[in-house]
Structure 1
Amino acid sequence: MHPIVERGESPFIAGFQLQDVTLPNGVTLRVATGGQGAPLLLLHGHPQNHLTWRKVAPRLAEKYRVILPDLRGYGDSDKPASDERHRPYSKRVMADDISLLISALGYDKVAFVGHDRGGRVGHRLARDHADQLNCCVFIDIAPTATMYALTDKAFATRYFWWFFLIQPAPLPETLIANNTAFFLRKHLDGQLKTPGATPEAIFNDYLRCYQQPEMIHAVCEDYRAAATIDLEDDAADSRRIACPLLLLWGAKGTVGELYDVVDTWRDRAQQVSGEALPCGHSPQEELPEMFLDRLSAFLAAQRLTESL
């Protein structure tokens, strides 16, 4: 077992304990865990941390052992130095973290749910570490390569940060650091279509992490990797996701309005289904009851068992 340091109860997610888990690669991830049963790992996206799952995690913990990591570079996880090719923030390396975490916690397989960047990490995880996944759920994403390949004025306008954050350092880092709270609030308000979905206390925790210079740089590196080395890795890999894949997306969001989401994944997954929900980018925060209903039905159909 690798070093796990207990950090006490989560102040935001009832019944969950915080841990710092140091992986064999030397990276330490902040993880919130709760519940008992088959392991279910949920991975957040940008610009959130694991608190994006706060409305659904306690209910899921009634049936599953719920695992909520912060991605490397995000939240209270380590923010390693990058390199000229952005490899440390490639989805392949970030997926390796999650693979190592699954093993470090003593599991053979997990059910996986990924939102936004977490889903993109999950796509690579399902290719590189297929034997560790029972099933996958990706929330509000089309494949990265597809979205770049189909870029037009509508997409570039709505998802401007895909093109802003990839600019060479320190341009985006400097501009974001000048007024991080403004940038973060405008980003969340633009993505989520349900007023009040992110209460002030949660926004403040997102901001606490985001305003760290190391996180701002890590976020930019995550997106720089997505526009470069991740595309190279994707082009060199024809493997399809073998486990069942469920797609959920917001009908009011950019992905839902610009793409046939299920169709974008058909050549990347062997078993794919999906549904639009009447919200924006983050159904787990905007429509938690409906999200839980769809997720719970999918997980129940997989007949998951404990894999310790």
Structure 2
Amino acid sequence: MTPQITGFEYHRVPVAEGVALNAAVGGSGRPVVLLHGFPQTHLMWRHVAADLAADHTVIAPDLRGYGDSDKPADPDGGAYSKRTMAADIVALARALGHERFALAGHDRGALVAIRAGLDHPDTVTHLASLDVLPTLDMWDVMRGTTAAVGFHLYLMAQPPGLPERLIGASPDAFFGHFLDIWSRGGQGPARGAERREGAEPAAGTERERQQARSRDPEAIPAPVRAAYLAASRAAVPSIVADYRASAGIDVEHDRADRAAGNTLRMPVTVLQQDWGAALGFDAAAIWRAWAPDLRHETVSCGHFMAEEAPAEVVKALRALLAR
């Protein structure tokens, strides 16, 4: 049986023609929507959601193309634009009775959240982004050998056919790779850059260094890891389509907003690993250009911070919601 968030009710909610989202809903009070990242499902929020549900209505969906949500075909490249996926989330909240809501996203979900904030500024009251840069800026900073940490971005940006076949040939190895290297002690974006520049990953013996690189099994326990792999295995074409959109139509949308001077008008909190120090850019300055009312914080855990450091994430979200 697929793990669920304890105490939450599950709904299947139509959000667009032929598309329904699987959503876990719990608690009562001001609504907060939590969007997951790659290669995960809504389950990544299980600790954070349980805490916030004490005094908020918490909605944690699987994004279109992921988990138990529908996975429409993408004939024209627009089915997985972040604009389309953001419209799904607005429709989901409205179907559940909420015209305005706070929004937090991790990784891919953060990109959807950013687009929702730009496209629906009167709907999104507060916005949190966990460990991602806005799409346009992400491509700008990925240069030279440091771009190797994002090899999957370039792979899935290729035209339909090859990426799906390559990933589909060994999906557990592909998706499991990121679950391993991006968690605490693994090779996240910042750590990967440091190693390629010749820095030691940890002090001590080679055995201790190998142990430091390994994932934290408590952060993503075996049943949850298995659920992530099963969900990703069943969604290779739609996951690739999501990433492909970020190398195409999503960039076009970001460029149009930048040219028009559009920004995120709501309070914004960004939690991020210290990518800038490792890859040579000022992440806070990049974010400030999009979010005038910004609080930018770096964290010491790995990429999967809602699972590795849920108390830290809850604290930051509660502070955001109080602004």
Normalising by structure 1, what TM-score?
A: 0.89
Q: Which residue of 1 is the match for residue 303 of structure 2?
A: 281
How far apart in 1 are the matches of 2:16 and 2:177?
37
Q: Which whole-Å deviations, capped at 9, do the CAs of 1:108-151 have from their partners, x for residues lacking one?
A: 11011010111111111011111111110001011111121222
Q: Hey, what's the Cα distance between the residues in 2 that align with 1:37 and 1:132?
A: 16
How far 1:67 sits from its partner (Å)? 0.2
Shift in Å, 1:236: 1.3
Equivalent positions of 1:204-215 (< 5 A) are 204-212=226-234, 215=235
Shift of 1:10: 8.1
**Does the 8 A contact of 1:166 with 1:227 survive in 2?**
yes
**Deviation at residue 184 of structure 1 after TM alignment:** 1.3
Give the C-alpha shift of residue 106 in structure 1. Answer: 0.9
Hey, what's the Cα distance between the residues in 1 that align with 2:141 and 2:165?
29
Q: How far apart, CA to CA, are the structure 1 residues paired with 2:59 and 2:158?
A: 33
Question: How far apart, in 1, do the equivalents of 2:304 and 2:145 lie?
Answer: 20
Q: Percent identity?
A: 40
TM-score by length of 2: 0.85
Separation in 2 of the partners of 1:226 and 1:54? 27
Aligned partners of 1:40 and 1:67 also within 8 Å: yes
Alpha-carbon separation, structure 1, partners of 2:240 and 2:291: 28
Cα distance in 2 for partners of 1:256, 1:114 equals: 23
Give the distance between the partners of 2:56 and 2:244, measured in 1 at CA: 35
Listed one character per residue, the Cα deviations across residues 39-63 of structure 1 (whole Å, up to 9, x for unaligned) are 0100011111100101221111111
Q: Which has the larger radius of gyration?
A: 2
Unaligned 5+ segments in structure 2 are 186-215
Q: 1:110 corresponds to which letter in structure 2? A: F
* Counterpart pick for 2:265 among 222, 226, 242: 242
In structure 1, C-alpha distance between the alignment counterparts of 2:63 and 2:172, rounded to whole Å: 21
Q: Is the 8 A contact 1:140 1:255 kept in 2?
A: no
CA RMSD between the two structures: 1.7
Q: Contact (CA 8 Å) 1:156, 1:163: kept in 2 or not?
A: no
The answer to whether the 8 Å contact 1:250/1:256 transfers is no
Whole-angstrom CA distance in 2 between matches of 1:58 and 1:108: 23
Give the aligned residue type for 1:27.
Answer: V
What's the CA shift for 1:207?
1.4
Q: Judge conservation of contact 2:2–2:227 (CA < 8 Å) in 1.
A: no
Where in structure 2 are the equivalents of 1:128-277 lying within 5 Å? Answer: 128-194=119-185, 195-196=216-217, 197-212=219-234, 215-237=235-257, 238=260, 239-251=262-274, 254=275, 257-258=278-279, 259-277=281-299
**Structure 1 equivalent of residue 40 of structure 2:** 48
| Structure with greater helix percent | 2
Q: How many residues align?
A: 288
- Could you say what secondary structure the match of 1:47 adopts? coil
Residue 63 of structure 1 pairs with residue 55 of structure 2: yes
Provide the C-alpha distance between the structure 1 equivalents of 2:135 and 2:255, rounded to a whole number of angstroms. Answer: 11
CA distance in 1, matches of 2:167, 2:277: 27
For the structure 1 residues 25 and 256, does the alpha-carbon distance in structure 2 shift closer, same or farther, using more than 3 Å as the test? farther
Which residue does 2:30 correspond to in 1? 38
| d(CA) in 2 for partners of 1:154, 1:130 | 37
